[in-house]
């Protein structure tokens, strides 16, 4: 079970990195959702899995194996942080769509000057 979850973590991480490398804010938003889910899976796998172990144990049966509550608390915290980050990114993408009418990052170059021939010739390597 742990090996299967580790494989799932690897696939989701690779997919999210691939999505983050694209130039679209919408794809970046989907990658952010995947990364937050990967963080939750990493916490669960790192905390150790106890199959069919109850979260709370009755005091009459103290010899039962109890599930570790720390990964559960950390995953709840990670869910809240991930939701806040996704909400912020969604507002950022919507506001950039309203201002620039695009979600392509390459087309949002309003603060950078247009390249002219003087700066372009300085960037080229000298020919021998």
The residue to which tokens 């049966």 are assigned: 61
Tell me if the pTM is above 0.85.
no
Q: Residue 98 above 70 pLDDT?
A: yes
pLDDT of residue 69: 79
Quick one: what percent of the chain has pLDDT higher than 70?
A: 76
- Domains within the chain, CATH numbers bracketed: 2-50+68-108 (1.10.287.3510)
Q: Which two tokens stand for residue 34?
A: 């995947």
Average the pLDDT over 56-68 and give the result: 69
Write out pLDDT tens, residues 8-44: 999 999 999 999 998 888 999 999 999 999 999 999 8
Task: Provide the sign of the torsion angle of the four alpha carbons 57, 59, 64, 67, taken in this order.
Answer: positive
pLDDT tens digits, one per residue of 99-111: 888 888 888 876 6
Q: What is the pLDDT of residue 84?
A: 95
Biggest alpha carbon distance in the chain?
A: 86
Q: What is the pLDDT of residue 19?
A: 95
Position 11 scores a pLDDT of: 97
């Amino acid at each position: 079970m742990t090996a299967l979850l580790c494989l799932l973590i690897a696939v989701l991480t690779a997919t999210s990195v691939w999505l983050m490398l694209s130039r679209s804010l919408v794809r970046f938003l989907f990658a952010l959702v995947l990364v937050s889910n990967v963080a939750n899976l990493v916490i669960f796998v790192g905390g150790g899995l106890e199959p069919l172990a109850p979260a709370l144990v009755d005091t009459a049966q103290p010899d039962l194996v109890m599930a570790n509550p720390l990964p559960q608390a950390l995953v709840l915290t990670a869910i809240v942080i991930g939701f806040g980050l996704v909400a912020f990114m969604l507002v950022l993408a919507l506001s950039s769509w309203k201002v620039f009418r695009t979600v392509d990052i390459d087309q949002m170059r309003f603060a950078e000057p247009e390249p002219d021939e003087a700066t372009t010739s300085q960037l080229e390597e000298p020919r021998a």
